[in-house]
């Protein structure tokens, strides 16, 4: 296997710009890796080899002609298949969009392309981003490169597995309740969800509109900074995109945060947490302390996790998240009605309602149907106040908790997930158990805050353990710098699973 795929995106971009490596060579190295490992990983819904080759050739021509290159020129990237692209299909890993070709490209992807990136393909996800393991995909099951009997996490499992197995230099994912961070933790890579509104959502297939955000999945923190540089910024096509200019996160990433105060939320460390993960976080806190940071106890009361007598977990934050996300999702997925695009039933129909019902029943998977039904219920007359409206109020309380915590610290440190990657099929029978896996990530989406998951270390079984840093709104720079600090003081970065080693 080529050593090219061991390079980070920053290194690739530098080498290509310097003429040490051509975009075509870089691409071919990844296509070769895909040919070898993709049968085991199954990260891609679609590999766009021809298109990628043409793009790489254009970059090479531009470089030799002395034309200016963008910051990602020639870097092969993967894009989660819920981001619209005019190249290839955009399926959201759903049967209802199995043959759909978007007439436009998502803003974030356009920005990558403008920066010279080469899109290798579209990656697998839980259908419509609804899931935490990528097992809800109607296309295929993606395998964790560290142990192929295990899930890569979700919903951006394809993107995370891809980067982890070095089948792309970096990837874009989307995060509604942890869908970038959790798979990054499971696959031993970096997953960054910027502040809500930092990156345009135009072209991202909506799941939970007030929660969704696009972000990078990379092999290290510097790459995350580079990609965030490119995709962040105001977009007038997205009314919820923040009207603030993007910063140069890469330029700052090496500078440690002076007098870094790290908050550890009490409520997150309960019996529900796998002890080895708790230990990894504690260990990380110690390392930060040795490096001069101050560790502070903070409280996020409405994000606490309770266990009842039977051992059932519950959490305000999880309940709030699922009501908000499912309500919005039930509305966002109403457009898939078999009329204008996407799957339409071939069965005989008796009236328009039949056309709608059959097309949707045939096109949607069980988890999607479950969430649409729950979301419809929580918005319906007589229940709206008790569920949706109440959830909005709880959401405000959750956000207030974070605001108060950030008066005492610069970033929060906590686990990304209560467990490491579980086995394929282990949790897919009980949706509620699956929902509770999001416990550490969902509050961040509810509060609209930025959060990053980086590898803390490998556990005794050799599986990656992720840790999360969360910051106040628009504190991307602080988070990235604090994360980079951990890479330096721990030496944990650029983890490579065995299957991807030479």
Partner 1 sequence: MTDGNDIVKPIIGLEIHVELATETKMFCRCRNNFGDPPNTNVCPVCIGMLGALPVMNALAVELAMRVGMALGCEVPDFTKWDRKSYYYPDLPKGYQISQYDLPLSINGHLEVSLSDGTTKDVRILRAHLEEDAGKNVHDNPAHTGVDLNRAGVPLLEIVSQPDMNSAEEAVAYGQAMQRLVRWLGASHANMQMGHMRFEPNINLHITREDQTFKTPIIEVKNLNSFRSLENAIQFEIERQYEQWRGDNSYTMENFPKQNRGYNDATGQTVFQRGKEEAHDYRYFPDPDLVPVVVDDEWRKRISRSIGELPLARRKRYIDHHEMTFKEADALTMDAATGDLLDAAIADGADARRCVNLLLGRGAALANERQCTIAQTGITAKQLAQLAKMLANKEINATAAARIFDMLVDSDSSAKDLAETEGLLAVTDSNAIETWVEEAIGANAQAVEEIRSGGKKAKKAYGFLMGQVMQKSGGAAQPGRVKELLDAKLGRE
Interface residues with partner 1 (CB under 8 A)?
Answer: 83-84, 90, 92, 97, 100, 102-104, 106, 201-206, 208-210, 236-240, 327-328, 331, 334-335, 337, 339-341, 352-353, 356, 376, 379-381, 384, 388
Instruction: Please state the closest distance from residue 204 (CB atom) to partner 1, in A.
Output: 6
Catalytic residue among 179, 315, 330, 475: 179
Instruction: Please state the closest distance from residue 329 (CB atom) to partner 1, in A.
Output: 11
Question: Among residues 122 and 201, whose Cβ is nearest to partner 1?
Answer: 201
Instruction: Please state the closest distance from residue 107 (CB atom) to partner 1, in A.
Output: 9
Question: Among residues 276 and 376, whose Cβ is nearest to partner 1?
Answer: 376
Alpha helices in 365-405 (DSSP H): 366-379, 390-405
Instruction: Please state the closest distance from residue 52 (CB atom) to partner 1, in A.
Output: 22
Instruction: Please state the closest distance from residue 318 (CB atom) to partner 1, in A.
Output: 19
Question: Among residues 182 and 330, whose Cβ is nearest to partner 1?
Answer: 330
Is 89 labeled as catalytic in the residue annotation? no
How many angstroms separate the CA atoms of 301 and 356, rounded? 43
Is 93 labeled as catalytic in the residue annotation? no
How many angstroms separate the CA atoms of 41 and 33, rounded? 11
Residue 244 is encoded by which pair of tokens?
């603030």
Local structure of residue 498 (DSSP, 8 states): G
Question: Among residues 344 and 427, whose Cβ is nearest to partner 1?
Answer: 344
Q: How many helices (DSSP H) and strands (DSSP E) are in the chain?
A: 16, 13
Beta strands in 93-242 (DSSP E): 118-123, 170-175, 190-193, 213-218
Chain centroid, CA 402 distance in Å: 21
Residue 146 is encoded by which pair of tokens?
């560290």
The length of the chain in residues reads 502
Instruction: Please state the closest distance from residue 351 (CB atom) to partner 1, in A.
Output: 9
**How many Cβ atoms are within 10 Å of 394's Cβ, its own excluded?**
18
The phi-psi region of residue 92 (left if phi > 0; otherwise alpha if psi is between -120 and 50; otherwise beta) is left
Chain centroid, CA 499 distance in Å: 23
Closest CA to 48 of 148, 134, 117, 140: 117
Closest CA to 38 of 3, 5, 11, 61: 5
Question: Among residues 314 and 331, whose Cβ is nearest to partner 1?
Answer: 331
Catalytic residue among 155, 174, 200, 315: 155
How many angstroms separate the CA atoms of 464 and 494, rounded? 12
| Beta carbons of 78 and 122 less than 8 angstroms apart | yes
Instruction: Please state the closest distance from residue 120 (CB atom) to partner 1, in A.
Output: 21
Question: Among residues 240 and 294, whose Cβ is nearest to partner 1?
Answer: 240
Question: Among residues 381 and 502, whose Cβ is nearest to partner 1?
Answer: 381
Q: Does the bond joining 155 to the residue before it have cis omega, within 30 degrees of 0? A: yes
Catalytic residue among 80, 122, 193, 427: 80
How many angstroms separate the CA atoms of 325 and 451, rounded? 18
Instruction: Please state the closest distance from residue 436 (CB atom) to partner 1, in A.
Output: 24
Is 80 labeled as catalytic in the residue annotation? yes
Instruction: Please state the closest distance from residue 151 (CB atom) to partner 1, in A.
Output: 26
Distances (CA, A) of 471 to 85, 120, 260, 321, 373: 31, 32, 12, 19, 34
Residue 92 is encoded by which pair of tokens?
């959201």
| Beta carbons of 200 and 228 less than 8 angstroms apart | no
How many angstroms separate the CA atoms of 413 and 482, rounded? 10
Residues 245, 250, 254, 255: what is their CA dihedral angle, to the nearest 10 degrees? -10
Task: Supply the Cα-derived Rg of the chain in whole angstroms.
Answer: 21
How many angstroms separate the CA atoms of 369 and 360, rounded? 9
Question: Among residues 81 and 135, whose Cβ is nearest to partner 1?
Answer: 81
Question: Among residues 52 and 206, whose Cβ is nearest to partner 1?
Answer: 206
Active site residues: 80, 155, 179
């Amino acid at each position: 296997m080529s050593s090219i795929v061991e390079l980070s995106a920053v290194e690739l971009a530098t080498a290509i710009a310097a003429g040490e490596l051509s975009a075509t060579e870089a691409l071919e190295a990844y296509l070769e890796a895909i040919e070898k490992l993709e049968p085991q990983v199954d990260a891609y819904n679609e590999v766009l080899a021809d298109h990628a080759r043409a793009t790489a050739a254009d970059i090479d021509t531009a470089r030799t002609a002395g034309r200016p290159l963008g910051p990602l020129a020639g870097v092969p990237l993967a894009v989660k298949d819920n981001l619209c692209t005019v190249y290839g299909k955009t399926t959201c890993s759903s049967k209802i969009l199995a043959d759909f070709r978007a007439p436009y490209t998502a803003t974030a992807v356009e920005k990558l392309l403008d920066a010279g990136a080469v899109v290798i393909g579209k990656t697998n996800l839980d259908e419509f981003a609804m899931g935490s393991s990528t097992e809800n995909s109607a296309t295929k099951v993606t395998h964790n490169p560290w142990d192929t009997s295990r899930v890569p996490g979700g919903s951006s499992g394809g993107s995370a597995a891809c980067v982890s197995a070095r089948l792309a230099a970096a990837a874009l994912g989307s995060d509604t309740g942890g869908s970038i961070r959790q798979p990054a933790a499971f696959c031993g890579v970096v997953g960054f969800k910027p502040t809500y509104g930092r990156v345009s959502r135009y072209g991202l297939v909506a799941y939970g509109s007030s929660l969704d955000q696009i972000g990078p999945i990379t092999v290290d923190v510097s790459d995350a900074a580079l990609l965030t540089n490119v995709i962040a910024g105001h977009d007038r096509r997205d009314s919820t995109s923040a009207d603030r200019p993007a910063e140069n996160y890469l330029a700052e990433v090496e500078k440690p945060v002076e007098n870094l105060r790290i908050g550890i939320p009490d409520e997150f460390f309960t019996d529900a947490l796998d002890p080895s993960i708790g230990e990894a976080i504690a260990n990380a806190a110690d390392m930060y302390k040795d490096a001069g940071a101050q560790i502070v106890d903070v409280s996020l009361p409405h994000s606490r996790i309770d266990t009842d007598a039977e051992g059932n977990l519950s959490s305000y934050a999880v309940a709030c998240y699922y009501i908000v996300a499912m309500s919005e999702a039930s509305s966002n997925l109403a457009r898939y009605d078999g009329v204008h695009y996407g799957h339409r039933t071939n069965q005989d129909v008796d009236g328009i309602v039949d056309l709608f019902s059959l097309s949707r029943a045939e096109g949607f998977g069980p988890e999607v149907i479950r969430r649409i039904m729950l979301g419809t219920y929580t918005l319906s007359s007589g229940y709206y106040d008790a569920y949706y409206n109440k959830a909005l109020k709880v959401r405000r309380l959750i956000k207030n908790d974070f605001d108060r915590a950030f008066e005492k610290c610069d970033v929060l440190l906590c686990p990304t997930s209560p467990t490491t990657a579980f086995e394929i099929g282990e949790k897919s029978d009980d949706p509620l158990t699956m929902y509770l896996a999001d416990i550490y990530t969902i509050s961040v989406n509810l509060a609209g805050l930025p959060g990053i998951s980086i590898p803390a270390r490998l556990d005794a079984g050799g599986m990656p353990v992720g840790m999360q840093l969360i910051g106040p709104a628009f504190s991307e720079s602080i988070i990235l710098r604090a994360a980079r600090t951990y890479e330096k003081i721990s030496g944990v970065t650029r983890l490579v699973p065995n299957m991807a080693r030479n």
